[in-house]
Amino acid sequence: MEIKFSKIALPKNGAIVIGVAEGAKLPAKAQEYDKLTGGALSRAVSVRDFKGKKGESVTLLAPAGMTADAVILTGLGKTKELDLVKLQALGGKIYAKLNCLKMKKMAIIVDALEEKMFASEEVAANIAFGVKLRSYRFDKYRTKEKEEDKPTVKSVTLMLDNATEAEAQFEKLEKIADGIFLARDVVSEPPNVIYPEAYAKRCKELEKLGVEVEILGVKEMEKLGMGSLLGVGQGSARESKLVVMQWHGGGKEHPLAFVGKGVTFDSGGLSLKPANGMEDMKYDMAGSAVVVGLMKALAGRKAKVNVVGIIGLVENMPDGNAQRPSDVVKSMSGQTIEVLNTDAEGRLVLADALWYCQHRFKPKFMVNLATLTGAIIVSLGSLYAGLFSNNDELSKKLTDAGNKVDEKLWRFPMSDEYDKQIDSDIADMQNIGTEKGAGSITAAQFLKRFVNDVPWAHLDIAGVAWAKKDSGLCPKGATGFGIRLLNQLVEEYYE
Ligand code: BES
Ligand code: ZN
Ligand code: ZN
């Protein structure tokens, strides 16, 4: 699908979309089309009692007096309540609607809003961003899909006076979309295609954008003493990998660090998961995908900042060499871990990745992302991700950034009492809590034992990484949740 920007002109074909603010009179262009159609547009407005409320729309198909296929008025709601994220979601919804109407082309006319809150370039660029994000599709394995079942919209033109500036703004947003699409792609790929080695190769492609990419295999990780991460992968025929990505855009400053859980398939290991729903565990690498997508977005838009991205890639499988519940492993930190449940594997992977990250890079902060616990879904469903942190300032920045881009976080408590619940009788700690409940918190307490005093935050994204239904900016499936949030954090506070 192609996204273009041009000056306002009457499109010869395709659909024309015009936004109308709540309570406002029809914009100039709509009035012009009303005349061309002999008043049909204003009649449709009164027949539908259209007021420009959010979510309302009026569609005039094959209007007499015009060669265009449709004129669509779409409600913007109250102008005062509009923000950039709502404009993005509007773009996504328009795209979805026009596919339902089987339109091939559409032009969105961006008039200046009555109360000038945003420049029309910004409005156009953000609507286009929403269109782009919603247009994502993972269909490479569908060989028999009928043409009529595929999305019909092939071209979208944003029409406004200052098309050149809008296009320039969109280009920056498009780099973020590229990162999100990469993340959605790797999460959507089946686990027989994306296993640690294949995934690491995909990361290598970021070198084209100037990202430095290193891949550590089992030998290198053994030398480093990463017994915690390696224990998880030892029951799999696929070799575990650790991928280290660096973007140098900010001189000599210490880097910001992002660390991701990349379990390419989580069968649970010997603590095997039930068959029902096990297929969901192909997305147990979503945290790592956010890190890779973020690196792509930052490198793509040449962010003026130093960033390191580290992902631990393993497959959690139950073969004859698999680790057993009750095994004791030694992590890179020297701390020993009694593995009481092999299905609580994400924390074992992150423990070594976090330790390695802080010692090698001395980062300003570390943010890790992981589909870590089912318990976070019980707490928050799919609307918020869980935030756990040892640092109030970092937590606030993350929460604020999330609110700005509508990727919301909710902070959970952490404390010594919760920490005690992972003390083990025979090792330094155990990988599950001794008491029932608070599963997401004890998982976070476990990670905290591997971060020392580095400002750190853990985002448990198990509930938000995969969408069961379509929404404004995202068709159902892999969401890429976290990339817009972390890009906002980096841009607003660190560039
Ligand atoms: N990958 C799962 C968590 C998960 C569940 C992610 C649902 C996405 C959707 C994780 O490795 C896991 O299995 N956690 C266990 C921990 C338990 C054994 C302490 C869980 O949440 O049940
Ligand atoms: Zn698990
Ligand atoms: Zn897992």
Q: Which two tokens stand for residue 383?
A: 């609307």
CA distance readout (Å), 158 to 11, 86, 108, 116, 236: 11, 17, 5, 19, 50
Dist. CA 306–CA 490, nearest whole Å: 10
CATH class of 2-158: alpha beta
Dist. CA 447–CA 230, nearest whole Å: 16
Question: So what's the pLDDT on residue 108?
Answer: 97
Is residue 460 exposed (0-12), middle (13-18) or buried (19+ Cβ within 10 Å)?
buried
Question: How many Å lie between the centroid of ligand 3 and the Cα of residue 105?
Answer: 42
CATH 3.40.630.10 domain extents, the chain: 188-493
Q: Which atom of ligand 1 is nearest to the CA of 283?
A: 8
Catalytic annotation present for 273: yes
Give the predicted TM-score (pTM) of the model: 0.98
Catalytic annotation present for 97: no
Residue 45 has pLDDT above 90, yes or no: yes
Question: How many Å lie between the centroid of ligand 3 and the Cα of residue 315?
Answer: 10
Which residue out of 267, 373, 447, 479 has the highest number of ligand 1 atoms within 8 Å of its CB and is therefore the one to mutate?
373
**Per-residue pLDDT tens digits for 291-339:** 999 999 999 999 999 999 999 999 999 999 999 999 999 999 999 999 9
Cβ atoms < 10 Å from Cβ of 493: 15
Nearest residue (CA) to ligand 1, atom 17: 344
In CATH, the number for domain 188-493 is 3.40.630.10
**Per-residue pLDDT tens digits for 46-100:** 999 999 999 999 999 999 999 999 999 999 999 889 999 999 999 999 999 999 9
Mean pLDDT of 391-397: 98
**Per-residue pLDDT tens digits for 153-197:** 999 999 999 999 999 999 999 999 999 999 999 999 999 999 999
Tell me the ligand closest to 432's alpha carbon: 1
Tell me the ligand closest to 268's alpha carbon: 2
Which residue out of 343, 378, 436 has the highest number of ligand 1 atoms within 8 Å of its CB and is therefore the one to mutate?
343
Q: What is the DSSP string of 333-376?
A: TS-EEEES-TT--HHHHHHHHHHHHHHHH--S-EEEEE---THH
Question: How many Å lie between the centroid of ligand 1 and the Cα of residue 439?
Answer: 9
Residue 116 has pLDDT above 70, yes or no: no
- Residue length, the chain? 495
Question: So what's the pLDDT on residue 114?
Answer: 63
